[in-house]
A and B are shown apart, each in its own frame.
Chain A
Amino acid sequence: MKRLLCLLALLSWWLAVPAAAQMTIDVSGAGARQYPIAITNFPGEAALPESLTQIVRADLERSGLFRVIDTAGISPVPTELAQVRFAEWAAKSADYLAIGVVVPATDGRLTVRVRLVDVVKQAELASFAFTMAPALTRVTAHRTADEIYAKITGEKGFFNTKIAYVKKAGTRFDLIVADYDGQNEQSALTSREPIISPEWSPDGSRLVYVSFENRKPQIWVHEIYTSKRTLVGNFRGSNSAPAWSPDGRELAVVLTLSGASQIYTLPATGGEPRRLTSSPGIDTEPVYSPDGGTIYFTSDRGGGPQIYRMPAGGGEARRVTFKGAYNVSPKVSPDGKTLAYVTRNGGLFQIAILDLATGQERTLTDTVKDESPSFAPNGKLILYATEIGGKGVLAAVSTDGRVKQRLSVSAADAREPAWGPFTK
């Protein structure tokens, strides 16, 4: 008990200290269609700890779907629709324009008022406002970008989401939780032993992962905002590859109670395992379809590792991947229509997608040691781990393969990324 208390105290201490290293991001490529948008500086934003509009521009640019147009030379800066001189913006080829203002509210808070304008139609598309404490500038900027992204593309924005990943520096492993853009990085767990396979609970409050801290792989459920940890997978042999059911109540896990790695389910609060697969070989990396009805998993029952699917309660498995001799680490897109996975092409490990309706497969990446694909909650990007120059880095690719980005952590290996759900 004392050890547990000590551990909890240590964990909460580490959680309170932001890790120093942060990610830098490179974007390359462009979407099939890019929306040209100009975003003026908002008068009054000098009162904020950092430029809100700069964060909005970076978000939209990073999505690959927007081309951000320079607003230099526009004076005075419009803040109301009536002040917009449309010819000026049309000359800059901006189809869309975001204008706004930051004004003081009560209790030291500030109100950000934004108007999104369709320059071609010369009409207002949307107007919205957020009142915030200055410390919440980044969150408010991401929410602003979400609104603009949703209004123009018709898809939900993912700029206000979290990612988790494992950072390895020397012999130190940190389970990191950060904003989707790598900012605001915090360590939820520090260990001298490896941590792998973090996955977000559907409500975004818990991570499940595999830790080797007790000299064998065990599965922990970790409430990230309270540091409460529960050891849910501590059975004889190895405990690994946890996946949340869409309702957050159950985990599909891999146990070795019969010898080989087989898939079981467990209550997410811990309890007795129920066996789902019975194959003589390896069944691992289970993942639920978004409707909860199907489990996709990796199995070597046909020789090499391939991806299969079965009913979530267990039952007959059907093979899903056929091209190539090594297809592993399946993830299902949020709409349930696409599978992302790692395929081996010659000696290269790359991220591929498969259209579950047509069986059409496609390799998306040109990196060569790709692992752990994870969909953005709107399904438009896939975050994954790869290696560049012998260093583990995180990268993202759009599901159409056109936009590629790299997120590298200074002086450490980044690996095992998991993209969190939409924030409620």
Chain B
Amino acid sequence: MNPLVYKLEKLFYNPTAVVLMACSALALYLIFSNYKAVQFIIRSLKRNKLRTILTSLAILVLVLVVTAIWTILSKLDEITEEKSKDLKAMVTEKYGARSQMPYSYARGLADGGARKPSDVHPQDNMAWSFYIGSLEKGKFTRENFMFFFCMDPEKFPTMMDEVDTFSPTDLAILFESIKKMKADKKRIMVGKERLKLLNKRVGDRIKLFCQNYKDIDLEFEVCGTLPEGRYENSAVMNIDYLQDAIDGYARDHKGEKHPQADKALTFMFLKTEDRNSFERLAEQISTSSLFTNPAVKCDTASSGVASFLDAYRDLLWGMRWLLVPAILVTMALVISNAISISVRERRTEMAVLKVLGFSPSRILFLVLGEALFVGVLSGLISSGGLYLLINGLIGGIPFPIGWFGKFEIPLAAWWWGPAIGGGTAFAGSFFPAWSARTVKVSEVFSKIG
């Protein structure tokens, strides 16, 4: 399928896009049905182009920052929001901050620790380990390190997040790579950005010196790429390859087990139907005698991420409740200042309009309309421009905390910008507009005379 047709088709299935299109249609209808008023507003704005441009630029810049911050906050909210259906449970070591469970747990956990016929079974499962290595021994830089999700490659399409956002071309590459990885355990998929940083290509063979498993240095062959976005800096390897290497350690060390032989399972993800199934599953796992040394805990994936983010809670609170409101107030002040100056300069014009029969409320709406026009339009250009720039060219806002990688600007940003611009324009221009409404004709003309 043509990528453009695919993207358009996806857009029509997106509720945000549908609401946005409906809002745009409504806005267009309002503009055309009030054509004369809109024309008047545009003429007024054109009279002092410099002021209009400067106010627009200020809004443009500030909306840009708010959109970027809201992108990060909304994405984190989305990740940490508890879902009611299709829950992903995450089993980790109960007490250790760095979960290290024996790989032997994987089989029992894949079945949800079910013991009785009436017990709940997960719909799907995925075992995860991490492998971190660098191309040069003892040297660990941004250009030579690799971070792997060690897993069964076949679980990638069903258990990993955001695979539904992959384009048909990327999906085809993914399935092809999975087939190759199943055929040869040494084969790996690498994110496009990481591959570029490593200066490697598909088909290249590499040797990595491990950072987190002592003496487990492995050779790989790059068989496919992961698309830009969430996984662009990650890589996927077959978990069996890591396990084989850990088992092989004993052969090369006179039967002595690898120090992390019983600590190679980091996470076990289980897919459950709903909240009730998740709770039953969590109960089965926590009461099972199979998972006691070390003990395990079962959380929803979102609550696990929320716990991780707890250390940053003050920072995120500051972004949400300090930075964004202060920027919004700054915007309102800039707009208020511009509209106040404009109203003061045009008191005679307001008086003439009143003489011509314009009602005070109509004058109020015209002044508010000017501010809203500049605010909404600048907001739309800013957030829309940021959407196209970040998603189209840069590939996301970097968020160098944990494994988040980059955040794409959501489609909702197309309404955030106009809403922020419009809202602050309204707040900033209401009092100046009110003072324009109360201009006294006799006072203005007496001064002119």
Whether A associates with B in a native complex is no
